[in-house]
Structure 1
Amino acid sequence: MTRNLEKMEEGSYKIFRPSNDGQPTQRRGQGPCILFMLDTSSSMKGDGFAQMKEAFVALIQGYANHPLQDHDVGVICFGPETEKIHYFSNDYDKILHLLDKTVCAGPSPLKRALEFSIHILECEAHDADIGPFHVRPKIVIISDGRVTTNGDLDDACDENNTHEKIKIAKIAGKIGYQNSLVCIAVGRNPDICFLASVAYSSRDGKLLMGKEEAAQYSRYSKNMGVAAEIIGILPTTDYLVEDVRTAVRASDVFETTTEKDIIDIYGILTNRQTYEMNIYFNEQSLERSLYVERDPELPPIGTRVRRGPSWPYSNQDSHVAGTIIGHWDQRPNSVYVEWDTCMRFPYHFETSANSKVVVCNEPRILLRERIAVGCLVERGQDWKWSDQDGGEGSVGFVYRVKEDQTIYVRWSNGLKSNYRFGYDGKYDVSLCDPFDKELMRRLREQPIKWKISAADKITDNDGCETDETDDNEEYEESVEEYNTKGRNAKDMDTNCARSEKDSSICNRCGGLASESKLTKEKTKKTSSLIHKVDELERKEGASLNSENNRCSWEWKSHTGEWVPFPKSENDKIQKAYDKNIKGTVLVAIDEDLFRVVMSRMIQINIRNRETHEIRHVG
């Protein structure tokens, strides 16, 4: 293949750099980076190379067919030489013909190719965001997995070659800590076990077989975009493929979404933590590295927030509320937020219009979750921790939920600790109803210690205690001040418009930024989505009361009049009620979206937080 490039030796591989002879700069893609590593060794002659080319073309053609998710593609070949034959770009037409004149020969130096890829990823690749999913560069290896060092095919079966494979696996593990490795097996007798060990040493690694699976994988970024659209309306736990299918059917992309796409979308949602911006926290040091209050002038852990007036991150928040789970130590005036989708990101916080997030008065509403970050808790039936919570009647804020049925709570006295919530059948704390007026009264009366003193501890209820901070200062102030005064009080005149304070929800809730265009647009969009779901359910006979309206639901208007729900919403409420008499469900009335909370027999307007009584008739 003829290329107008300069060679430069670097270790045992060769880097090709554009010559300074007036050649145009490569056209870079703005979406996910994909680095292909193509095996052009002698073992790939014949069927292996033909299948590799088919798989490669299927992937590139797939990217070209889905222009809404742009890709930045680079290509390495490893065979007689380990070389980069294409810089990152989205010039798919050119990329499709890269292998036209390639001849397979020589050894299969996969180890050198992986070492080369580390250099390329560090110097040239970039991360991308698809909604709430932070996508790091991916490596796609197309090979038969028959590693050789001298070009002799018999060498691939030599026991000594096992050591080379072990070295390769170690390098793959190093790369895979941050980046996904996808292996596509081709050839007459590919080493499936070895390729699988390489792929699965990485986060979200995959082993694909041939052209068809490669073509499906080309839709992965497109499917991630669909997952980003529906993640905000699904539960974070206990959801099924059928739930994903229903949500996708109600979306604008249903007609172009296949059943295989549905499975991919379900997998993306199930492995959502793989696509967090920061995945490097050590599990053993999370309490010290992430869940820490470092700045007394920032809202404390447990504070509920929404996107602010200067929000620049598209639908990273999935249009839902979130909870502050820590103060970010990498940049001043920054907080770490876990959105109600379980996705975590750092954001700048201040009291002027430059704030990326603002304090809000929205309680965490559970769908199928037993408990979640942002919930309120108090002492439970198995409490044995003295006055660690500040005394009987105190209310705390859940900021971390673990799979072992334990949770972490921040109390208003500033103390944080872990508690059993189902672990060994014990419940140190119990879930609070955020709409209980007596509970809210107690919550408002609690003094809020925003910065604990050195005398206080982060108590580990396995018997360990650790100091949280060396700062002896304490800071107490009502949270409702936060969106109108504080670090940037001088800027309060330029702050965003706010709704009137609603003191009935949460002591973390101050002046909520008034409904913005984004909120209205999201409400209309979600409302449209809900109506589409209803239409599908009617077509499929999903309504429980399709023949008659024996059980009806009504809501109380501002004038005191009881108004029946639309037939589709009535059926939806009844269906949810039959499943769980204390459950919740989303309904749409006109262009507004409401959360029906059956345990309190109320509905909450998602846009303005107004509440209305509801009743069950019949």
Structure 2
Amino acid sequence: MAESNSAAKMVQLLELLLQGQQDLASRLDVIEEQLYKLDEIDSNQREIQSEVDTLSKTTERTHRYLRQLSKQLDNNSLKRPRRSTSTLNLLGLIYRELANQNFIAENSRDVSTFDSDDSEATVQDEPSGNKDRYRNSHRRHVHVDIEASYTNQMPAKYDNNLSHQNIPRDNLVPTPDPVRKSPSPVPAAMTTPNIPVKVSPSAPSVPQSSHQPVNTPVPRQSVNNLSLPPKPHGPPSTPHSTRQTNGQQLLSQLSTDSDDRSIRVDFTSPEAYLKSLDIHVTDQNMISAVNSVFTDEGPEPSMANIPGLRTVILLDTSSSVNEEMMAGAKRFIGNFVDEVENSASYYNLEESMAVAQFGGKCAILQGFTNDYEPLKYATDNMVRGGKSPLLIGLVMVTAYLHKYGRSVDIGGRKLSPRIVVITDGMVTNHDNVGTEQDVESNSIRCKSKVLEFLNVPVQLGFTVSCVGIGEYDKNFLTNISQTQCRGRFYDGHEMENAQLLGRYYRYQKSLTRIELEMSGSSGTEDILTIVNNATREDSSLADIDREEIIKLCKSLLNLKIPNVPPPSKPSPHGQPRSQPHDQPRSQPNIPRRPDAVPAGPSGRPDTSPALKEAVSEIRPSDDVEPPSLGGWESDDDNPEIRGVDLQQCGRTMQYGIRVRRGDNLPPGSHDDDNVGTVVAHRAEGRVVVKWDSRQFGTFDQNHLTKISEYRKLGPAEDIEVGCKVKRGVDWCRGDEDGGANTEGVVLRKHRDKTVTVLWPSTIIERYGFGKDDKFELEVVTEQQAMANANGEFPVNESSDETVVAWQWKDDQNQWRTLPEEESTKIQKHIDDGKHGTIIVKHFGIQLRCDPTRLKFKEMGGRDRAGEMRRYDATANEVATLRFIEQDVFA
């Protein structure tokens, strides 16, 4: 009986539970329906807000173009009265198009006057002094009510036109300039909406307005009130109307918010390329620049097969870029390249870079390379001048990237090549570039052509970022980079921005993680938490880096992200950030320490296992890989050499082997007849070679020939990959090298003045070579090796020949003779006509020398100054002095 009662209660309980579950399901359905409605409302609000933002951007951009046309209108009327008719008609057509798109209210106030006869137009409410001047000019008048704040934002280059307008200097009033920090004088006549112009008798006639505002700025929230010609009959035209009128074509070109038009580009030949883009070039310099990309007449890439990100720096060298602006651009490039080199040294992110110019001459100044030193000086021999053919510059580098660029796989996400344009944004056409000055000639059409062409790099997947220098056109450059090409705009006056650009490749792993995290999230996670988690493995990243990563999420990945988070607490490691060097390029490039990386007990960067894994996941999509040495930068005493099992089996060349191309090497896959060093393994039987010319390549070992030739150093080189080394004056590592006279080979040269060395015992370690003024190694030349084998010190073969040596006086008033490489470096500095100081080394001591004044200053904390001199002697005498120096400092 009790069991039956229990069963009945259980049935009742189950029925209650079932009923409760049904009620809960019903409530959940109601809640889900309400949430769905809320989502629809929220989606509609986002769409409306997106449309409002788009209209706001288009309106702001159109106002800027109207201001430029108004200034052109004013200049035409005052300087070239007979040429102002087409400009005025174009202005009227643009106004009409704006009205058709509801960018201007249809019931706007009529404040423009178009007079169709030849009688003189009246000027209402005009100051008497200006009225006589305007009346004597015998010109028609159109009164355009443009907001005073917009009118006052004219670029400073137009201030030079004031002298041609006969405007009294006492009529100039200081107005704030958004670009220049000091107030710039703007004529009082320009703050009035009454702008005199010449009107053709064929211009459309519009009744004169009864209201003429005088020096009254329109409120910012209001729309500019403009007088429009009569509207055409029929429905309003769309931004992509096909009617062939100049105004509509121009407005269609300027509209960049709906550039979905696909352009079929023909890269088979330079002629077909330009024809497919509908670009007509007559200037031979421009034709030659484009041809060089297709015919390889220009500089060839230094590393045609190197993997990693490809970046082209496109520099404006036109006459609008003065000497001061160019010096700033060079400093920006120097800091940019330095930061890229840091990423290559510490994170094994080999980024190939090229430098191109556009101006009086368009050319590829430096082809793709990951030897970053030549990139910093690629612009030293260029010539400034000419117009600003940005269109041809972009056409040239786009073809160059199409030929040599490739994407990189970042955790399953493709990272495309990028173009970094450094310019002031003052664009001109590309005809007769080398013979005319860089003045604004039909600037709006030139900019519209640039905006139209940007569809090509966008279709190819390239990103375009812009760096503004001088008094740049921020709206135009921002429109190029952020609106169209998934790039970013940077102020070139802030050297910190150069570092952000240089860390772009380094940010990509974090961007991939953020994208994956946000795609799988419910949208409730804190963006700051996501970013901090994604960047946790790189402890050297600061708040400014996280802010840049968030901005890249918006521009590059098009993720919907809220505002940038406020600065967080300082890094717990307390590591100093690298500061941009701001010295002029004419001064010697003083090496600086890159971003600090936590150091291990041996003083080498302590790369955590998680960071190793993150770096190792970056796999280029092409077949060639540079040496991946990130795994060797650990705290292990004996880091494992990848591929050692293949070496022991004798099937793959060992690291450090010196090789020369074999006779059976396929054409085009070698570097002339240079020798190189095996620095990594790609697969069994395939090795990575770094040639002495600093190029990389992956080859079948059967196509290479082993040699015993020592690595030869140039006058300005102190140590390079492939050099034989032994213990130096600051050696403190015990016998891990295998003994006092054991020679190892350099596999990698790092930015922080350290090198990675392979010893015969297969131990690979990292040693200081100039870091903290310590030299743990000494380079062994072939001549020294032969002398050591014979028990003699090297003597120059032509003992009677007079040679030049440089000496410095130590604190004991003894003259110390610099090594041959350092003396050669000083002499070359003088022979090249360079001024300023140069840094040389003398057995671990760094000296900043001024050969012109014969002075030096000891570095490394002592800051002791002294004398130096040039010493001419026979080769035998100099060799003896240097042998004594080696014996004293050993």
Normalising by structure 1, we get a TM-score of: 0.39
Higher percent of residues as helix:
2
Structure with the greater alpha carbon radius of gyration: 2
The structure whose RCO (Cα within 8 Å, separation 6+) is larger is 1
Normalising by structure 2, we get a TM-score of: 0.28
